Amino acid sequence: MRGAQALDLAAASLVRAGCPAAFHDARLLLRDVLDEYPAAVATAALPPNAVDKLMNAVAARADRRPLAYVRGRASFRGLDMTVDDRVFVPRPETELLVESALDIPLGARVLEPCTGSGAVAVALAVERPDLDITASDVSGDALAIAQENAVRHQARVRFFCADGIAAVPGDEFDAVVCNPPYVAETDRGTGALPPELERHEPGQAFWAGTHGLDLYPRRVGQWADSVRCAAFEVGDGQDPAVERLLAGRGLAVRTRCRTAAGAVRVVVAVR
């Protein structure tokens, strides 16, 4: 089978499965199989093992497994992050959370709870190596991936298995940067969520009660009084409720970071 035929076959399978970017996904999967995608592939005959690998990857994607899981990696702020079904796939919108934290004072002690794949902590450590970063998660499986990503990118991050600040050694942090679960349980089974999320990603990484706000009070309530700055990722329309919680801890919202569609996705508050 020639490269162009394999690509068309793969894309057609993904179209039938309802994948929203079928040709894009097929092209990336073919590139992964061949470790490259030269123009000559279109007319060249592919080795049988390459076709088999491609079709296996396509079958996994057609089952609506996240593309990042099928490929074993996701790009986040220009860094390749290892991911699999033990962790939530880092989203491009979460890059706003890292961007919002880049002006944290020099040498600040930063806590990133709910770290998951470690993408936020690792990217922040790479871009701001002066920061003293600690990251935590309740999932030991997730922390194994996070540590792998830190080693891969030579990022100086300490990791602890803990629920927020609880059980993290040291009781004082200057800043908290957090992307907690914030998807409302009322969306379960309604078709409002992509099947990649609801069927394959770890539920504890995104479900957060009836309104998607259950984790915020717990996270905010755990903070030591030393926290001077907080940056939270929020779901659509959740920013007013989160801002009220922050105000209750003496933190006033300074910045609201918006998506390309105009939704507030990150709130930054200072004391």
CA 245 to chain centre: 24
Are 51 and 184 part of one and the same domain?
no
What pLDDT digit, counting tens, does each position of 27-40 carry?
A: 999 989 887 655 56
Look at residue 133 and tell me if it is in a domain: yes
From 37, 63, 89, the end of a domain falls on 63
Identified catalytic residue from 180, 181, 206, 232 = 180
| 202 in the same domain as 86 | yes
Confirm whether 88 is a catalytic residue.
yes
Given the residues 88, 160, 173, 232, select the one marked as catalytic: 88
Domain of 86, CATH number, reads 3.40.50.150
User: What is d(CA 223, CA 61) in angstroms, rounded to the nearest whole number?
Assistant: 41
At 37 the pLDDT is 57
Q: Model pTM greater than 0.95?
A: no
* 189 and 235 together in one domain: yes
Q: Which of 63, 87, 105 is the last residue of a domain?
A: 63
Mind listing the pLDDT tens digit for each residue in 128-177? 999 999 999 999 999 999 999 999 999 999 999 988 776 676 668 999 99
* Average pLDDT estimate for 233-247: 94
User: Is-contact 256 267, C-beta < 8 A?
Assistant: yes
Does any domain span residue 41?
yes
The catalytic position among 149, 179, 181, 206 is: 179
68 within a domain of the structure (yes/no): no
Burial readout 176-199 (b: 16 or more C-beta within 10 A, e: otherwise): bbbbbbbbbeeeeeeeebeebbbe
Q: Report strand pairing: 229-233 vs 157-161.
A: unpaired
Q: Do residues 101 and 138 both lie within one domain? A: yes
- Looking at the structure of the chain, the number of domains it has is 2
User: Could you tell me the residue range of the domain that residue 182 belongs to?
Assistant: 73-270
Judge whether 266 lies within some domain: yes
